[in-house]
Amino acid sequence: MSEPALIPPRPAPRRPRPLGSWRHPATRALVWQALAWLAVLGGLGWLVHNTQANMAARGIQSGWDFLGQTAGFDIGEQPIPFDSTDSYARAFAVGLLNTLRVAVAGVLLCTVLGALVGVGRLSRSPLVRALCRGYVELFRNVPLLVQLLLWYLLLLEYLPEASAAWRWGDAVFWSKSGLALPFPVQGAQGWHWSVPVLEGFATEGGATLSPEFLALWLGLALYTAAFVAEVVRAGMAAVPRGQIEAAHSVGLGPWQTLRHVTGPQALRVVVPPLTNQYLNLSKNSSLAVAIGYPDVVSIANTSLNQTGRALECIALIMAVYLGLSLGTALLMGWVNRRAALRER
């Protein structure tokens, strides 16, 4: 008989290394991250110190105390009350609200218009497809600054004077002074509608959207909608053809298929690139200074010229747009998680 083969003994299991040991991967990763953060903070500290020393050597003032000083200038667009005797901090708050107002309005309009154009690019009608493609090619390939100037000049040149304003009924007036609309206000007896009334050479009451706001809003929305349309078209084209054929086989019409089959599946593909377009719109709103809309960049430029605090004003602009970008990314990340396919 042959001798049985010897079975080698199993090696003893390795003892797990303690978390505080240098050989533990998590410990090493934590230490390297801490060193990286220290290096970054040290570099920023050196940069700030060196900048302050150079500014002091050249007699340039620095610091944030100017925010409490009197601004000394007026602002045409005032979502909150502002007077020339108010502080620079309140002026920046007005500029921030103006930026938020045009960014939110632009996102809403470009989303609706871009979705319609994107769906139209897949229409069965050759005329609709051609019109939608022409819109995309036109607005996507003309620089945004040119479009803003064009809309601003059109609003100022071809609209009538306030005394001869175009009107819809007795509540909406459109002229070179802007678009006057009814607006809810709170009075002594609760909320009520303030309706604009034409008195002489101006309108009183309601809310007026200035030509600068309208030009910026239309320019940003129409320009970004061209990119949103391509995102929507690509997302819908990514839906398998079999899904659409299955929807038609059970009797769903084109709009029912879009609502219940194509749209929800395309949304999972559309949301990430759509976030980039929203971010671009928010950052492109900084071009408002070219047409005189008092956004945060315009307020910062005026404050910089009066106080000489260039570093602080630029830092405020950066902080505003960084906050807008991060807030938009967080919101769209939540939308993306809600739209994501959940496996059972």
The C-alpha atoms of residue 27 and residue 19 are separated, in whole angstroms, by 6
Is residue 194 a part of any domain in this protein?
no
Does 122 reside within a domain? Answer: yes
Q: Within a domain: residue 259? A: yes
Token duo for residue 72: 């000394």
User: Residue 47 domain-assigned?
Assistant: no
Domain assignment present for residue 240? The answer is: yes
Domain count, the chain: 1
- Could you tell me what percent of the chain has a pLDDT over 90? 37
Q: What is the pLDDT of residues 252-309, one digit of tens each?
A: 777 777 777 777 777 788 888 899 999 999 999 999 989 989 999 999 999 998 888 8
DSSP class per residue in 255-314: HHHIIIIIHHHHHHHHHHHHHHHHHHHHHHGGGGGGGT---HHHHHHHHHHHH--HHHHH
Residue 55 is assigned to a structural domain of this protein: no
CA 136/CA 230 separation, integer angstroms: 8
pTM score: 0.79
Cβ burial, residue 223 (10 Å; 0-12/13-18/19+) = buried
CATH number at residue 130: 1.10.3720.10
**Domain for residue 303, yes or no?**
yes
Supply the range of the domain harboring residue 321.
Answer: 88-153+209-339
Distances (CA, A) of 73 to 24, 62, 70, 87, 303: 61, 21, 9, 10, 9
SS3 content of the chain, % helix, strand, coil (to 5): 65, 10, 25
CB 123 within 8 A of CB 241: no
- Note whether residue 269 is domain-resident: yes
Separation between Cα atoms, residue 252 and residue 244, nearest integer Å: 9
Does 106 have pLDDT greater than 70?
yes
